[in-house]
Structures are given as C-alpha cells and as structure tokens.
Amino acid sequence: MKKIGIVTNFNKKNAARKLEELLKWLAKKGKTVVLDKESAGFVRGKFSSSSLDEIASRVDLLISLGGDGTLLRAARIKNIDKIPVLGVNLGGLGFITEIPFSEIHKVLQKVFAGKFKLEERMRFQIEIFKKGKEKSKFTALNELVLAKITIARLLQLEIFINKDYVTTYQCDGLIVSTPTGSTGHSLSAGGAIMEPTVEGVIICPICPHTLTNRPLIIPSDKEIRIKTKPATRTRDICATIDGQVAIKLLFDDTIVIKKSPHKLKLVVSPERSYYQVLREKLSWGSRGDSSNA
C-alpha cells in the first residue's frame, strides 16, 4: 500500500494535532498521502488533496479519523468498495471505528505488512419512488430511519417483503438496519445485536401502537418495500440514511430496500474480537469465571 487517503472530523478534540502526527509517521514510512480537501486546509505543509468523490480512486487504503459518523460519511464515497477502509476512533462510543488512535501505528504496521483482518460489511441499496417514479437512490452501511419531523402522532407504514404483505405498522417511526447498524438506532429501539458478518436485516418499529409488533429479522436477500399510508397525508415524515442524508416523504411514497452488490471492506482490529468490543462499549463487565472457557 503506497498511497493512503485520510478523511478527518475536526469537531473531535485534538483532531488536527493527531492528523499531523499521523502524517509525519506515514512520511517516515515512505507513504504518499492524499487528504480530502477539508483536511488539507487544517494542516501545515503541502499535501495532495482530492474531493471525496475522487479520493477512493486515487489511494490503496482510506483512513477515517473521527467517529462512526465520519466512517459512515466515508462509506458513501464513490468507488469506496474497491479499497479497504480503516476506521480510527478519536473519542466517543465508536462501534464501527473500534481502533483507538493510541493503536494506530501498531495496526498500520500490520496492515502494511499484509497481516490484517478484513471484513466485508453488507450495505443497503435504497430507492425512493414518488408517484411510482424513481426519484433518488442511495447506499447505506448502517440503517434507514423513518420518523416524524414535527407533530407527535402515529405514522402508518405498509410493509411488504418480496411482494408479500407483512403488516401495516402504526408507530412513531421505523428502522431498517444492517448487521453493522444493529448497535445503533435499532439497538436503542429494542432491536437485536447481530454480528456484522451475518447476512440479515432487522426491521424495528419505534414505539408501535400494537405491542405485539416486535423487531423482525429476515434474510438479506429479501426485498423490503415500505409505503406511506393515509395517516401520513398531513404529517411530515423524513427518511434518514446513515444519519447523513434526509429526504422528506409524503403520502403514497414508496421506499425499496435491497442488499447492495457492493460491500464495504473494513479493516478490523487484530487485537480484539467483536465480543470484546461489545463488552468494552456496552460495559458488560469483566470476563469473570469465563476466562477458562
């Protein structure tokens, strides 16, 4: 790996200082660095820069410095599925960005030596139809969230799976989550935690009117179709994709969710397992008597 791309969230504490520290270390390793244009304006010295849409096609590895939101922004970059992505946590919870900055040099040494673990993470392909015509298309690594914008009244959302009618949720909102996103909004709404490599999808209603409407887990090869029903006619509803994009929906709009053919190649920590990450992030406690299992 000769060319390294870096995107940075400068809202994180000491982000500029840590970026400069990383740049010096990469220079000593003989690596060429390409920064996104925002990052280039925060550091001293001259570095090659690129727009987010072009950076993936110019590098062999992309490093995301920030939190999960920064990595989710990077996951939407054009052609990002062609290269591995390393998420580095600069503070906060960070489920996807599980590698702390204190370990970045050690991890990169292994990455450059080819001794690293790569996970392919499923993404969604999301299409939004208005009056039967496709208006927009997105990819999502974490989830799609449907929720009210203003007035606190129930929504009506009709759900089909592979053209089979499932139910009409009356609820405050709905979350459709990938396994990677299962530790995000879906978990807060009562959804299950899924290992990131499981090929499944979680459909999780938010505060459903019918208490027996529980989160539903389905295979990832199923098509999910969501249609807004008459109760949303006078109520603003918003579709939020990975916390990055928001689309206002109206009555009779349709959302179609499928598994994307293009997965994200995520570099994961060689030092800790997914279950260790869960223990640390969710404060599940020490290993206790299980240490001898």
Phi, psi of 58 (to 5 degrees): -110, -5
Structure tokens at 229: 């029903």
Q: Is 36 one of the catalytic residues?
A: no
Q: Which SS3 state, helix, strand or coil, does residue 27 take?
A: helix
In sign, the C-alpha dihedral spanning 63, 266, 2, 36 is negative
CA 60, distance to chain mean position in Å, is 21
Instruction: Please answer whether residues 122 and 259 qualify as being in contact, where contact means their C-beta atoms are separated by less than 8 angstroms.
Output: yes
The pairing of strands 264-268 and 84-89 is parallel
Cα separation, 14 vs 34, whole angstroms: 20
List the one residue out of 125, 166, 120 whose CA is nearest residue 144.
125
Cα separation, 44 vs 242, whole angstroms: 32
Instruction: Please answer whether residues 47 and 110 qualify as being in contact, where contact means their C-beta atoms are separated by less than 8 angstroms.
Output: no
**Which of 36, 53, 68, 253 is the catalytic position?**
68
Give bridge partners of residue 89 from the DSSP assignment.
66, 100
Q: Which SS3 state, helix, strand or coil, does residue 69 take?
A: helix
Active site residues: 68
